[in-house]
Amino acid sequence: MTDPQDAIDAATDDRADRDERIQAHAAGDVQDGIPFVGAGPGDPGLLTVTGRELVEDADLVVHAGSLVNSELLDAYCADAEQVSSIGKDLEELVPLMRDAYEDGRDVVRLHSGDPAIYGAALEQMDALEHEGVPTYIVPGVTSAFAASATLRTQLTLNGVANHVAFTRPQGKTLDAEDDHISEFVEMGDVTTCLYLGTHAVAETMDRLLDDGHDPDTPVAVVYHASWPDEDVIEGTIETIGDRVEAAGYRASALVVIGDAARKAGYERSYLYDGWANRDGSESEADD
Ligand SMILES: C[S@@+](CC[C@H](N)C(=O)[O-])C[C@H]1O[C@@H](n2cnc3c(N)ncnc32)[C@H](O)[C@@H]1O
């Protein structure tokens, strides 16, 4: 197979010409090729209808290992060949999916949550397309949305949170200068959702304290949102690190920083106030 980086570079060049499939298909359409399906956060019921139908028809499901609930695999594709992508590089994954597809098998690539968030889906798609295998995305419920449902809050909340940041803390694969958590928290009206940061909650909070942020800023940590062992730990920038360490969670949690996590102090929205009593003109509104 072609070197994956060469495939990415070639795809970047090719994208100067518009991909006709962008106009021809809407998100949710079943298309030719290998679908990259968002499995959702864990509960099999949170897989989309289209995702479920594709998985049920699949001969080969390449999934994200322990990030995908085995209950979902058992419920919807027990008869398919199931392969975990954990520990496999592109050089192994791409030929596996390509060969199965070329043999006429129905192949599904199942990512946790939504493939567009920290999923590294595009590099697999570009490598497959370079090998002549079409691909497309079927969206899923990202874990931040499952966490906000668990917390019974909104990530945007009138008067409290006008913006949402999906981000991750510095570490082996993110340099310190590319860690922007402190800047998001500084903005004040942002709900900051940390992926890939369960093992580093205490260090992350220590950095926020060092940067002078209010120690009482609310933080909620939702472990395994929508799984049977889901757990919620609530606290503040000052207290949450110790609480997460005491619980022993090192992975699979979503950290929500900001006043929306406490869902207090918000104001009624214009939608069900001034907007509801508008004089008839149609325009875009919050829902
Ligand atoms: C490799 S990223 C994949 C994210 C995924 N694509 C999504 O949209 O949710 C893995 C991180 O997502 C978060 N995550 C995934 N599933 C989760 C769940 N059920 N509950 C809480 N966080 C979850 C954790 O922060 C974990 O470290």
Q: Strands 135-138, 218-223: parallel, antiparallel or unpaired by DSSP? A: unpaired
Q: Residue 163, exposed/middle/buried by CB under 10 A (0-12, 13-18, 19+)?
A: middle
22: tokens are 């962008």
Separation of alpha carbons 135 and 227, rounded Å = 29
CA–centroid distance, 222 to ligand 1, in Å, is 10
Separation of alpha carbons 213 and 175, rounded Å = 21
Q: Which atom of ligand 1 is nearest to the CA of 120?
A: 1
User: Which residues of the chain form CATH 3.40.1010.10?
Assistant: 4-140
Give the pLDDT mean for 22-47: 96
CA–centroid distance, 253 to ligand 1, in Å, is 7
Q: Tokens 């609530």 — which residue? A: 234
Determine the Cα angle at 151 with ends 144 and 165, to 5°.
35
**Cβ of 40 below 6 Å from ligand 1:** no
**Cβ of 119 below 6 Å from ligand 1:** yes
pLDDT attached to residue 6: 85
CA–centroid distance, 230 to ligand 1, in Å, is 13
CA–centroid distance, 231 to ligand 1, in Å, is 14
- The whole-chain average pLDDT of the chain stands at 94
Check: pTM over 0.75? Answer yes or no.
yes
> In terms of Cα–Cα distance, which of 280, 286, 252, 284 is closest to 64?
252
**Cβ of 46 below 6 Å from ligand 1:** no
Separation of alpha carbons 256 and 219, rounded Å = 6
CATH 3.50.50.60 assigned to 4-140: no
**Cβ of 41 below 6 Å from ligand 1:** yes
pLDDT band, very low/low/confident/very high, at 281 (cuts 50, 70, 90): low
CATH architecture observed for domain 144-261: 2-Layer Sandwich (3.30)
- The sheet carrying 81-84 orders its strands as 81-84, 60-63, 107-111, 34-38, 135-138
Which region among 42-51, 107-116, 266-275 has the lowest average model confidence (pLDDT)? 266-275
pLDDT band, very low/low/confident/very high, at 284 (cuts 50, 70, 90): low
User: Which residues of the chain form CATH 3.30.950.10?
Assistant: 144-261
Separation of alpha carbons 148 and 256, rounded Å = 8
**Cβ of 249 below 6 Å from ligand 1:** no
- Closest Cα to atom 7 of ligand 1: 113
Mind listing the pLDDT tens digit for each residue in 227-273?
999 999 999 999 999 999 999 999 999 999 999 999 888 998 888 88
**Helix residue spans in 43-197 (DSSP H):** 49-57, 70-77, 90-102, 121-130, 143-150, 181-187
